[in-house]
Structure 1
């Protein structure tokens, strides 16, 4: 709400106070000049902040999950406004957890200095600088959380994920590249760390880093831990590493074969993009079920977590192996080249998300493609993942009222708000997954139109690696028109209409963007029993009844979840909060329900389900007789296997 709106609301309250008061009160003129307690917050300029901010972090309080911060900020003049980062790159929303910052104190010349939080923007702190003071000492605590109920766990007894921007204040009035920090961190005894910053010393648990600008600092998170392993995976040199931390030392036992897949990733990315826009790159990988999950891109690193047994139970990890390829692609798409409306001057200028379908959607596409080209996924496994994606969007009714372009702004409505009705409300996953289907459509169309001489690979090489930019990692912005122009350079076509038709489609006749599958040589078909690859990749297949009964079973209590809008269970009046307790006269389980669906195929008797929601019991009967349904991609005989071509490793 604007300051003007606040003033108007206050005036309205005064006028509504009561008849007696209203008879004598004179209506107040709205205060359009602002409030004295909320001076203007300086807008960012290209000036360089004078001096270097000393920034000290203490991360040794593991039992209480508290990170303590001390900053020494050079100052001039009579007033400074300090900002806590609000809009976090990669989150595409105002997600800075200022609620977790406490104990803020400011000192100058050995004396306490008052600070005032802005009355409208709680991320800004106004400080009057005492006469003669040349620096402010600012201290506070980041109260990280012990469980994932509200905020993600970033600190456990054996590891830490330090995101510097969650634990600092910076001067307003400057772009993030114009403010220099000299960072250091004290870690628990025996811990090691991975970070893309330049370490100048590491002794007795104190790591000190070379001074760097705020943009680079915030873009260079740290994973640290008691159990640590660093592995070089750059076949061309020594510039790319995986830095692993784990709950247990045994979790670090990645084999040479597994490491080889990640070496292939670096090679295949080099062949796809043709250049690198970093001086070094550090994959930060937590193998944990104690720290909160993450997959977050940065220019010269990425934050990733997998299950503790990701390497030691390799077969079970098939469905999640595309994470590191996805985040690595972001170094080109999203960091070096990014939507112009996300290239903001600092972390308190609002972001816009109009091109997330490129930023995230094309990155999702290349992450899946590179997973197959490197061997992290077999071709069969890649096809299973594509079929799963196609199944969801073929059966998603939410497109009737909400188009994909609108979904790009979903994060600004509330960061990745979970919902019970994802098939109807639509959300974050769509600008990843539906957009990835659009890019498959684009890729196969380029191949078809060019007689299979050109492809989206050519777009990636020219768009994300302009000539002469090898080694350049200063970010650049792109627009919709830039994307269209680059596509036309690869293959002339009406790409603007092609893309807008798919982005803006809604209403009763809107369909999922699935043409790329058939053009790629496959068709969608439903089967009653998954094959071995489908079971390996889609490990929850046994409890997935979305394409038959319209829901999945989740958890030990068989919770009715992932309910399909207008599906059989929906039409029976069932929504969130119900548990399946019996199927007919049998105690409920996924296996019992599968048997019931199979037995009802082709018959006339309904499937009877007994459900519980708190103290309430309901019996519903579903008149469904089409059997179990799992989606599969089936080859179209006599057509070119363009999807197979896309998934094949490049030789140069």
Structure 2
């Protein structure tokens, strides 16, 4: 049994309790002294209100002042109409769409002060639901006003930075409270924002009025508001990605420096081809306009977050100007754009919840994210964001990663859908054993398996593209979220080609291997092999990230300063006692470097030679000897002679 809730106290009672000190104000009321001294008794708060599908009266006015660039502070004033005097619960959003977990940054809310009729109204936080604030609305009040600050982290160690001297990212769910007891779609909000002078912005919201630095947007329901963030900055460019199209698609770009905005005509053409290829894949749009919000920055915190009519995308400042050497963000825009269909319009039924404080369930993230990972990379190749060879090399890295993901011995892929809730995207020391959000990229391999099986069974007449049109490409122009279940996915696949798809999927989702689901590679005409040199894609990617990969030889990956970034569970390095965070000081008597490690691994192909490392572990040094003799190994895809190149066809642009 759970402990009783704490009582909702009227304003007068709270003022009395204030004399007892802060702990008493928060949780306890004075009580007659018991015969035997003991702890003060808590007074139960009323339960949180049940969610009703009924309108909340009036319009919430949300004003955000985003001009305090030096201290990275957003000042918020919010006026909320009320139904009646008496108890009211306000929520700070906890379960954030696209984050797949209860990660609302409530610690960044500060200075909360609520007033009604010019008088202060005290609040009490719910001790079982700390994202809920109880207040007592005084008689005669028709609205309350909440004033507080959203404190952007000033360094990455505090969380994701959302304001810099050059740009900012407004995510409305982090800057508002909303009344409990209603579906989000039943609460109407009119937002406005004050930006620094001269700044411009991108958002899916539609401006209603502009006066100086203040822009007021048209009222929308709370669900749409949370789904419509803003990027703003002093260096800004908007690019039309669908000239003459039936619904506008725009890239709204902010940058740390103006030269980052200098896209070539060829690069703009590639982004426009992304829109064309998505149209040819799905055959329908579920938005009246779409805004890519793109930050070219190494100052603003990184992000890739989907929305129905927009997406938040943080890429390297040299995304355009260093096109040949900066490839790590190349498929991000394709991935997030794909989510407008997969995850936002059609979304898992267990994610279609009443409000932002109702827990989400993630059982179908291998569709929501896994199929998006698949089609995101396919669309990146079809549009020219990546070449066919780059896509193959990237897929080889994915296949090798999950073919050696030994954690599947104890943890099935289906369970990784719970990872955003369990670990909330915190770093892990033993990723290959603990597993992570593997439903993304192992999900990609499953959908490749599905695609190539459909092609094989229909002799190339049908493919997963047909599923995409049947599942996502219907009801053109409809923006209302359409929920789906596992059975809906299976039914649609059977409509493309009859097969026991339920067993096919469950075997891969609930099984334990061994190895990753790589049948799709073989049916696609390729096999996973290993070479002594990395592919051009891997060399460029890891050069950009300053990583050195010895995962498939010693079992380690290193970063700057020869610090170990990861250790493969049960690898030679693991058996020798290496762990993440250790520094390699020397290799076979030489100062450590990536080339020295590579040369030592190559030399150890001689069975009489070992790899000897001097390690620095905090303030301790030790020497380890690793008996590994199979040389350097880097993943590649190799064509299987005499087989159809189905994978090549999957990556080929669609001409209609």
Place the TM-score, normalised by the shorter chain, in its bin: over 0.9
SS of structure 1 residue aligned to 2:237: strand
Matches within 5 A, 1:424-503: 424-428=433-437, 430-466=438-474, 469-503=475-509
Does the CA-based 8 Å contact 1:535-1:541 persist in structure 2? no
Mapped to 2, the partners of 1:648 and 1:236 lie a distance apart of 25
Secondary structure at the aligned position of 2:192 is classed as strand
Partner SS, residue 157 of structure 2: coil
SS where residue 293 of structure 2 aligns? strand
Alpha-carbon displacement from aligned partner over 1:113-157 (angstroms, at most 9, x marks no partner): 111111211111111111111111111111111111131000001
In structure 1, what is the equivalent of residue 25 of structure 2? none
Residue 603 of structure 1, CA deviation: 3.1
Structure 1, unaligned runs of 5 or more: 8-23
Q: Is the 8 A contact 1:37 1:119 kept in 2?
A: no
- Is the 2:183–2:354 contact (alpha carbons within 8 Å) kept by the matching residues of 1? yes
Worse-superposed segment, 86-95 or 202-211: 202-211
Residue equivalent to 1:634: 638
Q: Deviations over 1:184-219 (max 9, x none)?
A: 000001100000001012232111101111011000
Partner Cα distance (1:3, 1:465) in 2: 49
Deviations 1:561-604 (A, max 9, x none): 21000001100112233100000111000011111111221332
Structure 1, residues 425-450: CA drift from partner, whole Å, max 9, x if none?
0011x110001000000000000011
Q: Aligned runs of 1:129-140 on 2, under 5 Å? A: 129-140=137-148
Q: CA RMSD in A?
A: 1.9
- 587 and 500 in structure 1: CA distance in 2 versus 1, 3 angstrom threshold: same
* Alignment partner, residue 223 of structure 2: 215
Is the alpha carbon distance of 1:445 and 1:541 closer, same or farther for their aligned partners in structure 2, counting shifts above 3 Å? farther
Equivalent-residue separation in structure 2 for 1:542 and 1:204 (angstroms): 47
Alignment partner of 1:249 is 2:262: no
Tell me by how many angstroms 1:56 deviates.
Answer: 0.6
| Correspondence for 1:45 | 52
Q: CA deviation at 1:72?
A: 1.1
Alignment partner, residue 326 of structure 1: 335
Indicate yes or no: 2:614 matched with 1:614.
no
> Aligned equivalents of 1:218 and 1:447: distance in 2?
40
Work out which of the residue numbers 412, 423, 428 in structure 2 matches 1:419. 428
State yes or no: 1:110 paired with 2:118. yes
Which of 516, 520, 525 is the matching residue for 1:521?
A: 525
Find out whether 1:122 has 2:133 as its counterpart: no
**Matches for 1:125-164 after TM superposition, within 5 Å:** 125-164=133-172
Provide the residue aligned with 2:398 in structure 1.
389
Relative to structure 1, the CA distance from residue 318 to residue 577 in structure 2 (aligned partners, 3 Å threshold; closer, same or farther) is closer
Stretch deviating more after TM superposition (609-618 or 85-94): 609-618
Query: What are the Cα deviations for residues 213-268 of structure 1, in whole angstroms up to 9, with x where unaligned?
Result: 10110000000000000000014426100000000011110111101111001000
Matched-pair contact (CA < 8 Å) for 2:207–2:218: yes
Q: CA deviation at 1:530?
A: 2.6
User: Hey, what does 2:77 align to over in structure 1?
Assistant: 70
Q: Separation in 2 of the partners of 1:361 and 1:134?
A: 47
**Other-structure match for 2:296:** 287
Task: Quote how far apart the aligned CAs of 1:45 are.
Answer: 1.2
Per the alignment, residue 187 of structure 1 pairs with 195
CA–CA separation in structure 2 for the residues paired with 1:423 and 1:518: 24
Comparing 398-407 with 201-210, greater Cα deviation is found at 201-210
Distance 2:614 2:626 in 1: 11
- Following superposition, the deviation at residue 26 of structure 1 comes to 13
- Could you tell which deviates more after superposition, 569-578 or 475-484? 569-578
CA drift of 1:36 comes to: 4.2
Q: Determine if contact 2:5/2:44 at 8 Å carries over to the other structure.
A: no
Instruction: Tell me which moved more, 246-255 or 112-121.
Output: 112-121
SS at match of 1:363: helix
What does 1:267-278 align with in structure 2 at a 5 Å threshold? 267-278=276-287
Could you say if the C-alpha distance between residues 532 and 302 of structure 1 is closer, same or farther in structure 2, counting changes exceeding 3 Å? same
Give the structure-1-normalised TM-score. Answer: 0.93
Distance (Å, rounded) in 2 between the aligned partners of 1:503 and 1:2: 35
How big is each residue's C-alpha offset from its partner over 1:73-103, in whole Å with a ceiling of 9 and x where there is no partner?
A: 1112122211100000000000101111111
1:6 and 1:445, CA in 2 relative to 1: closer, same or farther beyond 3 A?
A: farther
Q: Which residue of 1 aligns with 2:376?
A: 367
Native 8 Å contact 2:535 2:636 kept in 1? no
Q: 1:98 aligns with which of 101, 106, 127?
A: 106
Displacement, 1:420? 1.4
Q: 1:603 aligns with which of 607, 612, 632?
A: 607
Q: CA deviation at 1:496?
A: 0.4
1:541 Cα deviation from its structure 2 partner: 8.8
Tell me, in whole angstroms, the C-alpha distance in 2 between the residues paired with 1:384 and 1:6: 58
Partner of 2:32: none
Contact 2:542–2:548, Cα closer than 8 Å, also in 1: no
Query: 2:546, 2:638 → 1: CA distance?
Result: 19
Q: Do the aligned residues in 1 keep the contact of 2:603 with 2:609 (CA within 8 Å)?
A: no
Do residues 378 (structure 1) and 387 (structure 2) align?
A: yes
**1:543 corresponding residue in structure 2:** 548
Distance 1:252 1:227 in 2: 8
How far has the Cα of 1:480 moved from its partner? 0.6
Quote the residue 1:3 is aligned against.
3
2: CA distance between counterparts of 1:171 and 1:380?
A: 52
